[in-house]
Chains A and B, each alone.
Chain A
Amino acid sequence: MILVWIENSGGQALSVSWETIGVARSLAGDAPVAAAVFGPDAAAIGEQAIARGADQAFVCDHETFTAYRVDPHASLLAELAQAHEVTTVMAGATTRGTDVLGALSVDLDAGLITDAVEASTEGDSLVAKRPVFSGKLVATVTSPAAPHLLTIRGRAFPQPEPDESRSGEVTAVDPALSEDEIPVKETGFEAASGEISLADAAIIVSGGRGVGGPEGFEPIRELAAVLGGAVGASRATVDAGWIPYEHQVGQTGKVVSPDLYIAAGISGAVQHQAGMRTSKVIVAINKDPDAPIFKLAHYGIVGDLFDYVPALSEAFKKRLT
């Protein structure tokens, strides 16, 4: 059995969890794929997981899962893995997915492959490819013996469409830990300000040193809003205090892989490239025709971002409304 941890918040599964079910399906052969859903609305999300390709679901809607903590998730996954002849446990390569499978690797004394962009089986081995050295190299990582633990990079695999005709058993399970056994307590949560996060975004519009100051991100934000995308930034702009760190793309920021990446006023230092080079289509807008970003880009405009970015916003408004 392959067990897939379905990350959810606000009663919704993350799209990377459905992508993970798709990968699990392709690795499982004749073996069953089971979804593990812990948290509010677990049963409903379990049904959705079956529609997306799981054969069955283990669900636990216990209050210890309402606020995320790593321990209750890892301990319950460990119990399920030991009870059901699980060969592989998988999750999305998010902050939480890395946490949960990392903790599980200790409980099962099992190898962990993180952030896979390709995965296959060879006999009893699990073989995956993952970017290392911040995307400058790709490693093939082999886990020779079960249990295997694998996290999947978001947007690297297709998302299976829901098939409502699929059916499977949804089994309620008890939590492995009581609240008294969980040392970490949540005392607050500040939701991000409604902006689309970089990790989920299909489109990212990023600004670099060329924006000139905090207000220079305004046209970037406007274009991102028109395209329904997220706002990214180079390290220089974050270090200058023009935009918060959570927008930083690159080696010491986020590594992203959107369908479209528009780099405005970004020269394209190797550290920035490491964070965005796997984007499907890259557009560069820069005054300097020799900027390294043009080597990576599919389309380029040599010119002032303050002319071209607002003009692009207008051009897309016409096409998208």
Chain B
Amino acid sequence: MRVIVCTKETPDTAAAVDVVEGKATWGDAPLVINPWDEYTVQEGINLKEQGASTVTVLALGGEDTREAIKHALAMGCDDAALIADEAFAQVDSLTVAKGLAGGVRQFDDVGLVITGKMTTDANGGALPVQLGRLLGWPTVTYVAKIQSFDVDGKSITVERLVEGGRQIVTAPLPAVISVVKEINEPGYPSFMGIRKAARAQYPTWSAADLGLDADLSAKVDWTNLEKPPVKAGDAEIISAGSVQEAAEQLADKLMEEKVI
């Protein structure tokens, strides 16, 4: 049974992101694997101990996306596929989901698709459920733990981290899950893994290769991008004589702000 892990590249989270001529820029900061997807990839690899035969990394994007794929291969994925097409140059999450669903359908032995809970650039979070719905597979999002992964019985039981607590659910395979950070500790790529990843050959598919000839245009567009308004001036520093006096002063100010 194959497990597919989905990923994409995002600017390093430490990057200072800015807007130049309506486009997001991040200076010299590198594009890295979407941080949430390190958990995605690691969870796929962990499932090999529970009967997954092959872990495939699947991504949609341009040449930069190869770095994210290389990272996933170096962590221990067995093989990869990239979906790259001009048709996906300006897309929303539904279109990305259509592309990824087309990629998943290229394999006939898929038991599970894993994604991160969201990407750190678009911050949408809807892609996992869109992908599952397109495939017609049950989707379980915000998974914090896989309690059981039963390849023979074709079912998965997971804990979801949701508002108000943890929901434990069982779903038949094949299924789609999105994972949160709590699920594991991602490993670092090994030296051997990095060497293997650098040499890896994998297919690049166009939309036509996937039989996606229907309308792939985005239903929503980013029509503007701007920096959020910045607060003027520095903090008002409370520096009364004693600790108690400072605490009293600050408490008074916060009561006046009517935020308590």
- On A, residues with C-beta under 8 Å from B are 9, 14, 67-71, 74, 94-96, 98-99, 101-103, 105-107, 109-115, 127, 130-145, 183-192, 197, 199-200, 202-203, 227, 244-246, 248, 251-253, 255, 259-260, 269-271, 277-278, 280-281, 283-284, 294-303, 307-308, 311-312, 314-316, 319-320
Task: Please state if A284 and B180 are interface contacts (CB–CB under 8 Å).
Answer: no
Asked whether B199 is an interface residue with its Cβ less than 8 Å from the other chain, the reply is: no
Task: Please state if B254 and A260 are interface contacts (CB–CB under 8 Å).
Answer: yes
A residues near B130, Cβ cutoff 8 Å: 102-103, 105-106
The 5 closest A-B pairs by CB, nearest first: A111-B219, A102-B126, A311-B247, A111-B220, A300-B235
Task: Please state if B224 and A308 are interface contacts (CB–CB under 8 Å).
Answer: no
Task: Please state if B13 and A94 are interface contacts (CB–CB under 8 Å).
Answer: no
Contact with A along B168-191 (1 / 0, CB 8 A): 111110010000111000000000
Task: Please state if B227 and A270 are interface contacts (CB–CB under 8 Å).
Answer: no
B residues near A294, Cβ cutoff 8 Å: 234-235, 237
Task: Please state if B97 and A252 are interface contacts (CB–CB under 8 Å).
Answer: no
B residues near A186, Cβ cutoff 8 Å: 167-169
Shortest Cβ distance from A112 into chain B, in angstroms?
6
**Who on chain B is nearest to A300 by CB?**
B235
Task: Please state if B126 and A316 are interface contacts (CB–CB under 8 Å).
Answer: no
Task: Please state if B235 and A312 are interface contacts (CB–CB under 8 Å).
Answer: no
* B interface SS class: mixed
Distance in angstroms between the alpha carbons of A67 and B167 in the assembled complex: 9
Task: Please state if A203 and B259 are interface contacts (CB–CB under 8 Å).
Answer: yes
Q: Select which of A70, A141, A187 is within 8 A of B129 by beta carbon.
A: A70
Distance in angstroms between the alpha carbons of A145 and B220 in the assembled complex: 9
Beyond A184-B140, A280-B257: 11 further Cβ-contacts under 8 Å? A106-B133, A133-B120, A139-B225, A141-B220, A185-B169, A199-B163, A245-B181, A255-B123, A301-B246, A308-B247, A319-B251
Asked whether B35 is an interface residue with its Cβ less than 8 Å from the other chain, the reply is: yes
- On B, residues with C-beta under 8 Å from A are 11, 13-14, 16-17, 19, 24, 35-36, 92-94, 97, 120-130, 132-134, 138-142, 144, 157, 161-172, 175, 180-182, 218-228, 231, 234-239, 243-244, 246-248, 250-251, 253-255, 257, 259-260
**Who on chain B is nearest to A299 by CB?**
B236
Q: Select which of B139, B141, B170 is within 8 A of A185 by beta carbon.
A: B170
**Who on chain A is nearest to B227 by CB?**
A137
Given contacts A101-B126, A311-B243, contact A135 B259 (CB under 8 A): no
**Who on chain A is nearest to B128 by CB?**
A102
Task: Please state if B226 and A95 are interface contacts (CB–CB under 8 Å).
Answer: no
Given contacts A105-B130, A112-B92, A252-B120, contact A140 B222 (CB under 8 A): yes
Q: Can you list 15 A-B pairs with a CB-CB distance of less than 8 A?
A: A98-B125, A103-B129, A112-B93, A115-B123, A136-B228, A140-B225, A142-B221, A183-B171, A183-B175, A184-B171, A192-B164, A192-B166, A203-B259, A308-B243, A311-B244
Distance in angstroms between the alpha carbons of A110 and B94 in the assembled complex: 8
B residues near A199, Cβ cutoff 8 Å: 163
Task: Please state if A281 and B257 are interface contacts (CB–CB under 8 Å).
Answer: yes
Task: Please state if B259 and A281 are interface contacts (CB–CB under 8 Å).
Answer: yes
Distance in angstroms between the alpha carbons of A96 and B141 in the assembled complex: 9
Task: Please state if B223 and A127 are interface contacts (CB–CB under 8 Å).
Answer: yes
Distance in angstroms between the alpha carbons of A136 and B231 in the assembled complex: 14
Q: Select which of B222, B237, B255 is within 8 A of A141 by beta carbon.
A: B222
Task: Please state if A298 and B162 are interface contacts (CB–CB under 8 Å).
Answer: no
Task: Please state if A96 and B171 are interface contacts (CB–CB under 8 Å).
Answer: no
Task: Please state if B235 and A297 are interface contacts (CB–CB under 8 Å).
Answer: yes
Q: Select which of A95, A105, A133, A311 is within 8 A of B11 by beta carbon.
A: A133
Q: Select which of A71, A114, A135 is within 8 A of B126 by beta carbon.
A: A114
Shortest Cβ distance from A275 into chain B, in angstroms?
11
Q: Select which of A133, A192, A280, A302 is within 8 A of B237 by beta carbon.
A: A302
A residues near B255, Cβ cutoff 8 Å: 319
B residues near A251, Cβ cutoff 8 Å: 13, 35, 120
